[in-house]
Structure 1
């Protein structure tokens, strides 16, 4: 069997044998979620393949849809470049180099009307003291037609008030892979390797140096790796996977909350992966005018190549 056919077969198999579980609740911070019961899917797949991105973004670690295009990038150890992508088929449209900052560990991306924000806050070992969000004016590239464009960024630097130790650890709570834009502020959701929760921090959009304290903590029973906010419906979506490898990938929908108390309203969880396949889901974004469409992305693993997917809130039970 040709390699491409094998990959297609594997993708088809994951969703015929993957797991679903809906959990709808009115939640308070710190609520413990019961372990998910894994059941096989017997109906149609939960997501559809849009197109491969592995040729330019094999470690696609976040996505955002803005001004009609998807934007993505590679994480640590890769060039300081983000990519404009066709949302119809995942093809590369433009490469945009940030000339004045390296890619230490870019992990997520968000946008508002005038800026794109790149989260350089990946912190696998808990030792970084140079966490930042790169603020990039869209005016530098949004109307450019060249295949390659250079831009500069401003830094929104920050530290966690709760972090007092910078000794390397695999069980700390100060890694981060998720950023969303809401009105005049940015919000980051941590990827807690220690307690499998996520902590929420509020960050100004004004470049500078900040010390931030957690607004709330919620037990997602996993590792949150991406998110997005929909201003039209006042909804947050998060993506991630179980702490024991890239398994049981999940999507959370957060609705009916006030202000930035994101987990105080209705929380719905959908398991979209299964317990055996190494499907490293990393990015998620709202993707249509009615905001029902959702895009997801994954990094390349032994199981799958980096790919752009689509689904919708109805399919996911949101």
Structure 2
């Protein structure tokens, strides 16, 4: 437990508890945000520019909301503050993208009976991004967006070195502020502000037989000088492509995309 004091909240191995298979409409579920009783998700690159409300008790689709002025180039994650949902159109596996977008949608609009809403567009670039990046061999991919102390931040998906970098977005520029040795590809995050714990989810990819080893990486006392970092392997779902994580009513939930190891599904994560 790098950087930990004598005590950590995470002393037991996590348990992955399958809640339900998700509808085919969200077979590439790639983001997760809980508000107003439901877990909201969306599909990955090329999907419809839509948010899908999911019942956390049974995985049932309860509402679809289309973002009328948005395009799903490569939506990767959701986060929120008190009044808005933020959709990260930031996927960059191939390394050919230099400008990234975040769609900012009012929660009050999502909760109205109408099926279409509009979003405000936030664009940003990396402070320093090299030219001619090689596909799947660089550190400028983004799949994990969060709000911390009213500040938009994200964790990078580092294909080149299997670490992750924490960036803060200010005035359209993403500035790197910290590095974490996750030894894997980070695909989602969620922040427990009351306990000041950051949860990262992702997987280590074994290229030679296309196997993924999912993990959760916890950072206690997040963004302080007393951070406690712990990596937890999710061995019971080896091979699954985990993509998103969030909290609902004090319970951690995560999702996986459809692949040959398992259909798209909603899971609970327990450390009890």
TM-score (norm: length of structure 2): 0.90
Question: 1:138 — aligned with what?
Answer: 107
Q: Give the aligned length.
A: 262
Q: Please give the alpha-carbon distance, in whole angstroms, between the structure 1 residues aligned to 2:27 and 2:233.
A: 24
Note the C-alpha offset of 1:231.
Answer: 1.3
Q: Please give the alpha-carbon distance, in whole angstroms, between the structure 1 residues aligned to 2:228 and 2:238.
A: 29
Q: Where do 1:275-286 residues align within 5 Å?
A: 277-286=238-247
1:138 to 1:246, Cα distance in 2 relative to 1, 3 A: farther
Please point out which of 158, 162, 167 is paired with 1:192. Answer: 158
Within the alignment, does 1:83 sit opposite 2:23 as a pair? no
Note the C-alpha offset of 1:129.
Answer: 2.4
SS in 2 for 1:113: coil
Question: Does structure 2 retain, via aligned residues, the 8 Å contact 1:246–1:280?
Answer: no
Question: 2:9 — aligned with what?
Answer: none
Please point out which of 49, 56, 62 is paired with 2:31. Answer: 62
Question: Does structure 1 retain, via aligned residues, the 8 Å contact 2:14–2:232?
Answer: no
SS in 1 for 2:65: strand
SS in 2 for 1:242: strand
Question: 2:121 — aligned with what?
Answer: 155
Q: Please give the alpha-carbon distance, in whole angstroms, between the structure 1 residues aligned to 2:259 and 2:226.
A: 35
Deviation sequence 1:3-41 (CA, Å, 0-9, x none) = xxxxxxxxxxxxxxxxxxxxx2217xxxxxxxxxxxxxx
SS in 2 for 1:140: helix
Within the alignment, does 1:116 sit opposite 2:85 as a pair? yes
Gaps of 5+ in 2: 5-12
SS in 2 for 1:139: helix
Note the C-alpha offset of 1:312.
Answer: 2.2
Gaps of 5+ in 1: 1-23, 28-43
Rg larger for = 1
Note the C-alpha offset of 1:71.
Answer: 0.4
Deviation sequence 1:74-133 (CA, Å, 0-9, x none) = 010111111011011110010111110100000000111100000000001111123111
Q: Please give the alpha-carbon distance, in whole angstroms, between the structure 1 residues aligned to 2:43 and 2:231.
A: 27
TM-score (norm: length of structure 1): 0.78
Note the C-alpha offset of 1:168.
Answer: 4.1
Question: 1:14 — aligned with what?
Answer: none
Please point out which of 125, 132, 136 is paired with 1:170. Answer: 136
Within the alignment, does 1:268 sit opposite 2:230 as a pair? yes
Question: 2:10 — aligned with what?
Answer: none
RMSD of the alignment, in Å? 2.1
Please point out which of 192, 198, 201 is paired with 1:239. Answer: 201
Q: Please give the alpha-carbon distance, in whole angstroms, between the structure 2 residues aligned to 1:199 and 1:264.
A: 18
